[in-house]
Amino acid sequence: MISQLSMQATGAYWQLITQLGSSSLLFPVLAISVATLWISNQKAAIYLWLTALTLAVTVTLATKLLFLGWGIGVASLDFTGVSGHTLLATSILPILFFSVGGGAQTKLKNIGLWFGLLLGFAVGVSRVVLGMHSISEVVAGWVLGLAVCGVAIYAIKSHRQGLVYLQLLILSLLLVFGSTTPNYIPAHDMSVKLALYLSGHDQPFTRAYLSTTQTSSEF
């Protein structure tokens, strides 16, 4: 009984962590971050960050569509598509915490950056633990996210933030931990529908199909 309760608690913990990468959560967080940078006259940084993020999301979506619609993946790596949760968390959360830190000489912004990267890594681990993605898919998402994050950090200039932005940050975190199901943007379902529409198939390909192709190639 105690063991079962412990497993349930562990599952709930990882489910909470994985929601930190939900598009339903991170799009509002992205909006907060962009507003913060805009008011701080960081228009060039915003452009580069959003451009890099758009390209990364496009690559991620393309890998998902190729597998869901046509079964194109990498069997040897158990790869069916880049982890979107990991990508978004690693691309957005570090910039949110970094921008709150303010001036270039403050230690707070560097702590915020590493904290955001740690959260992105934790989201990736949660996707593996919960059986949503393989290690290769999470690594791909984290690497893409790091690239997007790096572009943004490189472009952001020294600036000072008021407490209002810290309050917005705290509010956003309260929204995160106040719900384990922020899913008003059903990204996966939308990807499946788009893949089926483009491919003309009635059912999406699953990871089981990838395992079958790997087994067949061994003969």
Digits of tens for pLDDT over the chain (219 positions)? 545 545 555 667 898 899 889 888 888 888 888 887 888 888 999 999 999 999 999 999 999 999 999 999 999 999 999 999 999 999 999 998 887 765 545 677 788 889 999 999 999 999 999 999 999 999 999 999 999 999 999 888 765 555 555 556 655 665 655 555 556 677 888 899 999 999 999 999 988 887 776 544 444
The pLDDT of residue 218: 47
Its pTM stands at 0.85
Q: Determine contact, residues 128/135, Cβ cutoff 8 Å.
A: yes
Q: Please list, in sequence order, all residues whose beta carbon lies within 8 angstroms of the beta carbon of residue 91, skipping any fewer than 6 positions away.
A: 52, 53, 56, 120, 144, 145, 148, 149, 152
Per-residue pLDDT of 58-95, as tens digits, reads 999 999 999 999 999 999 999 999 999 999 999 999 99
Looking at residue 170, its pLDDT comes to 57
Predicted local confidence at residue 188, as pLDDT: 83
C-alpha 45/C-alpha 154 separation (Å) is: 8
pLDDT for the residue numbered 167: 53
Distance of alpha carbon 138 from alpha carbon 140, whole angstroms: 5
